[in-house]
């Protein structure tokens, strides 16, 4: 019986990986007359590069450098603000507000930092398969224990304030978890299949005082047939965006959840990206079209992406598309802001703020400022 359950888990995980990949997918200074920025200043240049490092902008004025053997926070001039050593096989990095979390994916530890260094370390009983943090430094974790999944919510100090358990055969396989900024609300996305039919289950938990009135603190849930929802996100304290293979659904949750709007996309979705005030959807294999929306589901703009990109990232205002040899920056209103080619192979483009970017190439690492 246990072998059958294990085989079912493996099949579902293969389906998830295959479908989800399809969903969620220095430079020469030139002048032109079409209003597109194509020049920059080099703020700082590093003489080294480590291709295994994860870089991320922090607070608009510094850089997180994360690897298997440690993490550090650096200024834009390359000065180290703090440095912390650890040993992690598969580091996963998340930031929210002033807090930084590094989880050992499929391991049993999470490290929580802020602008001054280590805040706390959480050790788990079983392997970590999902986690999230909020602006208060609360940490939510999903652990996998054979055919069960345990959900935990911790304060910044590491105190356990909530827990729940789900079973694979009854609840499905967890895809994502998100926590509200005040730490009182939590949402999960699970994929369930009986071997024939498939559905996503979005569940909303209420951990405030009013949540005591709900069974297992579940304030509401939604089942969506024939759809995979690999990502859920609190975009503010009461608004949740659920990203699927057919579009984006916006939920409002003050006490109980309510579906507010659907952004349904007819064409096949190539990528979905989000900023603090917008959502972006890319469709098309030939002509690539970027459509942007606000969190009410209203369309903001549309533009054509010329580059055959392999990666997409965003900051507060812009969406950045890049591949090994070039990049484009599009505004949230659908205007092309910046376009150019790289002199040599680039591995990462990291937005620090609206004008400063970290460019990681096979040769070196540069911080640049757009003019």
Long-range Cβ contact pairs of 322-328 (< 8 A, separation 24 or more): 322/346, 322/349, 327/27
Q: Which of 207, 235, 264 is the last residue of a domain?
A: 264
Structural domain total, the chain? 2
Is residue 96 a part of any domain in this protein? no
Q: Bigger pLDDT: 107 or 15?
A: 107
Residue 235 and residue 291 in one domain = no
184 in the same domain as 234: yes
Residue 251 reports pLDDT greater than 60: yes
339 and 306 part of one domain? yes
Are both 243 and 307 inside the same structural domain? no
Most distant CA pair in the chain, distance: 68
Do both 278 and 241 map to the same domain?
no
Say how many C-beta atoms besides its own lie within 10 A of residue 333's C-beta: 12
> Does one domain contain both 137 and 241?
yes
183 with 143, same domain?
A: yes
- Does some domain include residue 194? yes
Q: Please tell me the pTM assigned to this model.
A: 0.86
Determine, yes or no, domain membership for 106. Answer: no
Decide if pLDDT at 6 tops 70. no
pLDDT in tens, 179-214: 999 999 999 999 999 888 999 999 999 988 888 888
Cα separation, 240 vs 274, in Å, equals 12
Q: Which segment of 172-176, 232-236, 283-287 scores lowest on mean pLDDT?
A: 283-287
pLDDT bin (cut points 50, 70, 90) of residue 50 is: low
pLDDT at 46 over 80: no
Tell me, yes or no, whether 146 and 260 share the same domain: yes
For residues 276 and 253, membership in a common domain is answered with: no
Do 145 and 234 share a structural domain?
A: yes
Torsion over CA of 363, 364, 365 and 368, rounded to 10 degrees?
-80
The string of pLDDT tens digits covering residues 133-180 is 999 999 999 999 888 999 999 999 999 998 888 898 889 999 999 999
The answer on pLDDT for 18 being more than 50 is no
Task: Give me the pLDDT at residue 214, please.
Answer: 86
Q: What is the residue range of 260's domain?
A: 116-264
Number of Cβ atoms within 10 Å of the Cβ of 308 = 11
Domain stop point among 209, 233, 264: 264
Do 195 and 153 share a structural domain? yes
| Domain at 252, CATH number | 2.130.10.10
| pLDDT value, residue 216 | 82
Give the domain-ending residue among 211, 229, 264: 264
């Amino acid at each position: 019986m246990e072998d059958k359950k294990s085989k079912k888990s493996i099949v579902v995980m293969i389906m998830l990986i295959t479908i989800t990949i399809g969903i969620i997918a220095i430079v020469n200074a030139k002048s032109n007359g079409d209003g597109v920025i194509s020049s920059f200043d080099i703020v700082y240049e590093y003489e080294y590069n480590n291709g295994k490092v994860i870089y991320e902008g922090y607070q608009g004025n510094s850089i997180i450098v994360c690897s298997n053997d440690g993490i550090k926070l650096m200024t834009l001039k390359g000065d180290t603000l703090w440095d912390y050593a650890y040993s992690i096989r598969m580091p996963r990095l998340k930031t929210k507000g002033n807090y930084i979390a590094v989880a050992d994916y499929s391991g049993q530890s999470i490290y929580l930092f802020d602008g001054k260094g280590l805040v706390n370390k959480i050790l788990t009983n079983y392997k970590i398969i999902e986690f999230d943090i909020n602006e208060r430094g609360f940490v939510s974790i999903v652990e996998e224990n054979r055919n069960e999944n345990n959900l935990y919510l911790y304060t910044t100090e590491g105190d356990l304030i909530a827990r729940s358990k789900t079973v694979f055969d009854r609840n499905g396989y967890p895809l994502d978890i998100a926590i509200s900024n005040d730490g009182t609300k939590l949402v999960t996305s699970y994929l369930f299949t009986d071997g024939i039919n498939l559905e996503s289950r979005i569940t909303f938990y209420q951990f405030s005082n009013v949540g005591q009135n709900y069974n297992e603190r579940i304030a509401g849930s939604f089942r969506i047939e024939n759809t995979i929802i690999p990502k859920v996100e609190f975009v503010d304290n009461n608004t949740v965006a659920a990203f699927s293979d057919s579009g984006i659904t916006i939920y409002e949750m003050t006490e109980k959840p309510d579906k507010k709007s659907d952004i349904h996309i007819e064409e096949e979705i190539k990528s979905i990206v989000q900023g603090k005030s917008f959502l972006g959807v890319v469709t098309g294999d030939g002509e690539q079209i970027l459509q942007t929306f606000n969190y009410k589901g209203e369309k903001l703009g549309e533009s054509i992406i010329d580059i055959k990109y392999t990666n997409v990232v965003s900051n507060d205002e812009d969406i950045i598309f890049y591949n090994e040899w070039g990049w484009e920056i599009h505004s949230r209103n659908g205007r092309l802001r910046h376009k150019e080619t790289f002199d040599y192979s680039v591995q990462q483009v990291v937005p620090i703020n609206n004008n400063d970017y970290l460019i990681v190439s096979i040769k070196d690492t540069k911080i640049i400022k757009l003019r």
